[in-house]
Amino acid sequence: MTFRLAHLSDPHVGPLGRPRLSQLFGKRATGYANWRRGRSRSHDMAVLSALVADLRGQGAAHIACTGDLCNIGLPSEWATARSFLDALGTPEAVSFVPGNHDAYVRGSLEGLLDACGPYTTDDTGSAGRFPYLRRRGEVALVGLSSAIPTKPFVASGRLGTAQLAAAETLLRTLATEPGRPCRVVMIHHPPHPGGASPGRELKDAGAFAAMIGRVGADLILHGHNHVLNLARLAGPGGGRIPVVGVPSASALPEGHGGLPNRRASYLLFEIARGGAGFAITARRRGLGADGAIADLGPFALEP
């Protein structure tokens, strides 16, 4: 039986209201200035709405959203973020992990997770704790948080030793189950070494890659770079695990360099058990050259 999983990321939901002067401290001041100077014109809510409407019509069994619902972590953005997730689907049908913009300043991530906690609730009923596990059919979704507050002009992330150790235990346990599930890992920052430029990288990408090399996974999903990308990490026994990043779900082509691999889009994965493992294929849907949402063809997971 085939499981259809949709993946989108970095919607940067707007509009961004005018913050109070008291809220424009530290990184928020520079972030708001950047938003006013041009970042707001790189993201379009009409594009995002059209993309979500198209996604909802594709019959996905589950939706993975890998972060950056917010822009500068204002309290007013938390309700907007929750409304966006509600428009995607119910908490049972949508899984969310946060990004660096969701943890823009201290307290931002906690406020967002209070509002959006049901979309991070694990199989035990606990919300807002990472890693989390959600089983859906033959798929086991493992949510990680790389979201940390950083200095102005820095957008790096970190998992930390405790979360990495817990993720390793969880993935190893899943791998040893009879008829093991398909293990899908969700994270915001590209988790492979060299996956993002200095100042934007996952600080412990090397430790993550080493952990995956010990216990494996079947598919790793991320956002952050606003570009369609495929990398691979070595798994146990020489396996090569696809690491897939998607563009911003609200990206206007002219605001992201005009490049086809940066246009707003999402991926649809078809996951089916095959032999001792799983066969996974993907198709991309999003903004075409004419500005309409369309099927953009298969996305190869093999080099």
CA distance 282 to 284: 7
pLDDT in the model for residue 39: 65
Block means of pLDDT (10 residues each) for the chain, 303 residues, are 96 76 62 62 90 97 97 91 98 98 93 97 95 97 97 94 98 95 98 97 98 97 97 92 97 74 96 89 94 95 80
pLDDT in the model for residue 27: 72
pLDDT in the model for residue 277: 86
pLDDT in the model for residue 42: 80
pLDDT in the model for residue 21: 56
Q: Is 220 exposed, middle or buried (0-12, 13-18, 19+ CB in 10 A)?
A: buried
Q: Which residues contact 71 (CB under 8 A, 6 or more apart)?
A: 12, 13, 14, 16, 31, 35, 39, 77, 101, 104
pLDDT in the model for residue 9: 98
What's the CA dihedral at 90, 94, 98, 101 to 10 degrees?
Answer: -70
pLDDT in the model for residue 31: 65
8 Å CB contact between 245 and 227: yes
Q: Which residues contact 289 (CB under 8 A, 6 or more apart)?
A: 260
pTM reported for the whole predicted model: 0.95
